[in-house]
Amino acid sequence: MADKPAPNPAAAKPNDGPGPDFVRAVIKEDIATNKHGGRVATRFPPEPNGYLHMGHAKSICLNFGAALEHNGTCNLRFDDTNPVKESTEYVQSIQEDVRWLGFDWQGRLYYASDYFPKLFDFAVELIQKGLAYVDDLSADEIREHRGTLTGPGKNSPYRDRSVEENLNLFMRMRDGEFPDGSRVLRAKIDMAHPNLVMRDPTLYRIRKVRHHRTGDTWCIYPLYDFTHCLSDALEGITHSICTLEFENNRALYDWVLDNVSAPCHPRQYEFARLNLNYTVLSKRKLITLVQEGHVRGWDDPRMPTIKGLRRRGYTPESIRFFCERIGVARRDSTVDMALLEFCVREDLNARVPRVFGVLNPVKVVIENYPEGQTETITAPLHPEDASFGARPVPFSRELYIEREDFMEDPPKKFYRLAPGREVRLRYAYFITCAGVVKDPATGEITEIRCVYDPATKGGDAPDGRKVKATLHWVSASHAVPVEARLYGPLFTVPDPGEGGDFRAHLNPKSLEIPPGAVVEPWLADQPAESGWQFERLGYFCVDKDSAPGRPVFNRTVALKDEWARIQKAGG
RNA sequence: UGGGGCGUCGGCAAGCGGUAAGCCAGCGGGUUUUGGUCCCGUUAUCCGGGGGUUCGAAUCCUCCCGCCCCAGCCA
């Protein structure tokens, strides 16, 4: 990879953005008061039922980041309690993504399924204390008994079974004596509790399904509310950080830990999940996009998944910087995609070499340049950082420039090439437009005729005369054809999730591939994932779909475009 | 209509009784062999609204308004 190495991942932070967030404030306070002996232990607990996306990145940066800042630990724990949805494919990719983002769980890789035996014992303990019972009601009946938001629920007729009967039934549930869905284990709390989560929540259900790790050992599986708090306690977590929608569940988190002989009682803190405009960040919607073929897979560069962003050319640093800058708070918010794009540009600007590519070529013929002659120009790979070195760029009589860099009848503020006007070909020569050749049938310009000034070799005029524009170019006979994949927002509206079918707002132009794109020969066989700046166009990276001599480039993000701004402002 | 949360610049977000940080976006200017980068300047007399407490409030009290979450044997 030609890219510059990143600075120390853990140390890499933007020198701006918001100050410490409320979670870090709590941690700081707890350390000051020696609450856990100064210890900080967090965890990132994904369910292996999908690929990680930017929302997870926020959580990863928070959990790993906050731990790292205090010499603490952060476990990677798979919350794998629902075998019907989970698979090893996901546990694999999640590990890859966390590592790629630059975080290390230092061997503390855990699975909730590893705790199944202990969880079972805790359930037995609850039954023995008269705090849990086996219920024979169906799912529908349980729902009917739950009551409403404003009205209390009703007790199940099975609520007052004896401890012995409950124990007996629960063992037989475990032993597979009853069919799926026929019985559940429920906590005995309060069917009139104002918090619906506390109306005798289900703790265990029967699922005669093979689990990706425990196989057929179990046919009863614990639910989230029972599993998560105990997993945290078993791991000695000090700060259990999750998103706002789990706030109602905190009462149950605490209830379970208070009523069972748990080794400790971690505290749960909730923060607002990330929303990004012009995309969706919900596993359900993302999986729909993949399954219905609206994108080419989980790693489609248009996807807000970690794999998608990676393939698009985003760096781990840019994503981490982004997460630092958006902050962590308790209010719902939607972050502007422009901030994410700013973060990649910032990172790539410093780390990636500059090269020439022409997306929409038009031929330039330099009339006074000898036919058949080629000279090799040595061009810096990074004009602001000599350590990048230089690369050879062939120059000859026929070149390609960007079609948009020429106008026959230019408006006031256009100062690129036009008839009679002189511009600079970067690192090469000044050229002056002498005329154009058009297709007689369509009127389209097929060739721009120019003359060059040999005295301006390198790009400066000895007589000191100036030009207003500098153009990138590629020698026609040396040009390497490429597939350039240009991406736009996945959706046409800022909030595609807002009511109705989000798929109705899919952007038909989210991927465009201009025919005829070419690059300089230096780019013919660069490694996949290497990042480049095509001068004046944007940041690109080599896609894994590349074939030898036929590279495929993804445009990560375009450069800021002052001219586009002027055009837009001018109507 | 129950319970739990949240409302500070166009978008994020600090602030925690002493008189509104920062970032992105926008706008204006400088430098420039990328209309890029970089640099400088500019952008809330005001903190959802009304009352109140106080010498003093975005910060405390109170009422109102708005938004989010909860009725999975999902997480």
Quick: pLDDT tens for A193-233: 999 999 999 999 999 999 999 999 999 999 999 999 999 99
- Does residue A552 have a pLDDT over 50? yes
Using a 7 Å CB cutoff, list residues 350-379 of A near strand B: 354
The per-residue pLDDT for A7 is 42
- What Å value separates CA A523 and C1' B69? 51
Question: Mean of the pLDDT values across residues A242-262?
Answer: 98
Which nucleotide minimizes the distance between its C1' and the CA of A245? B69
The per-residue pLDDT for A498 is 81
- Does residue A2 have a pLDDT over 60? no
Q: Is A481-568 the same fold as A116-222?
A: no
- The hierarchical CATH code for the domain A355-479 is 2.40.240.10
Amino acid at A546: S
Strand B closer than 7 A to residue A346 Cβ: yes
Distances, alpha carbon A509 to alpha carbons A38, A257, A488, A491, A492, in Å = 53, 52, 7, 9, 9
Strands A480-481 and A518-519: antiparallel
Q: Alpha helices, DSSP H only, in A137-223? A: 139-146, 163-174
Q: Could you please report the per-residue DSSP string of A363-406?
A: EEEETTSPTT-EEEEEEES-TT-GGG-EEEEEEESEEEEEGGGB
Strand B closer than 7 A to residue A1 Cβ: no
Torsion sign (Cα): A394, A395, A398, A402: positive
Which nucleotide minimizes the distance between its C1' and the CA of A468? B35
The per-residue pLDDT for A6 is 45
Catalytic (active-site) positions of A: 47, 273, 283
- Residues recorded for chain A: 571
- What Å value separates CA A566 and C1' B28? 14
The pLDDT-based confidence of A12 (bands split at 50, 70, 90) is very low
Using a 7 Å CB cutoff, list residues 84-143 of A near strand B: 85, 137-139, 142-143
The per-residue pLDDT for A15 is 54
CB A273 within 8 A of CB A304: no
Topology annotation, domain A481-568: Ribosomal Protein L25; Chain P (2.40.240)
CB A128 within 8 A of CB A163: yes
Quick: pLDDT tens for A327-346: 999 999 999 999 999 999 99
Amino acid at A547: A
* ipTM metric: 0.96
The domains of chain A are located at: 116-222, 355-479, 481-568
Dihedral of the CA atoms A385, A387, A392, A397 (nearest 10)?
10
* Alpha-carbon gap, residue A506 to A510, rounded angstroms: 8
Question: Mean of the pLDDT values across residues A428-442?
Answer: 98
Which nucleotide minimizes the distance between its C1' and the CA of A45? B75
* Alpha-carbon gap, residue A49 to A54, rounded angstroms: 16
* Alpha-carbon gap, residue A523 to A520, rounded angstroms: 6
Q: Which helix (H) or strand (E) holds A240?
A: strand A239-243
The per-residue pLDDT for A11 is 41
* Alpha-carbon gap, residue A343 to A58, rounded angstroms: 14
Quick: pLDDT tens for A131-188: 999 999 999 999 999 999 999 999 999 999 999 999 999 999 999 999 999 999 999 9
The torsion region of residue A71 among left (phi > 0), alpha (psi -120 to 50) and beta comes to left
CB A76 within 8 A of CB A105: yes
Domain A116-222 part of CATH 3.50.50.60:
no
User: Average pLDDT, whole number, for chain A?
Assistant: 96
Quick: pLDDT tens for A68-95: 999 999 999 999 999 999 999 999 999 9
- What Å value separates CA A201 and C1' B48? 37
CB A52 within 8 A of CB A59: no
Dihedral of the CA atoms A435, A440, A445, A447 (nearest 10)?
-60
Least confident residue range of A17-31, A133-147, A382-396, A464-478: A17-31
Which nucleotide minimizes the distance between its C1' and the CA of A340? B24
The per-residue pLDDT for A4 is 55
Q: In terms of Cα–Cα distance, which of A382, A326, A317 is closest to A354?
A: A382
Strand B closer than 7 A to residue A202 Cβ: yes
Share above pLDDT 90 across residues of chain A, in percent, rounded to a whole number: 95
**Which chain B nucleotides are covered by protein, judged by CB under 7 A?**
1-8, 10-16, 21-27, 33-38, 67-75
Strand B closer than 7 A to residue A192 Cβ: no
* Alpha-carbon gap, residue A186 to A160, rounded angstroms: 12
Quick: pLDDT tens for A258-315: 999 999 999 999 999 999 999 999 999 999 999 999 999 999 999 999 999 999 999 9
Quick: pLDDT tens for A139-150: 999 999 999 999
Quick: pLDDT tens for A383-407: 999 999 999 999 999 999 999 999 9
The pLDDT-based confidence of A3 (bands split at 50, 70, 90) is low
Q: Which residue places its CA closest to the C1' of nucleotide B26?
A: A565
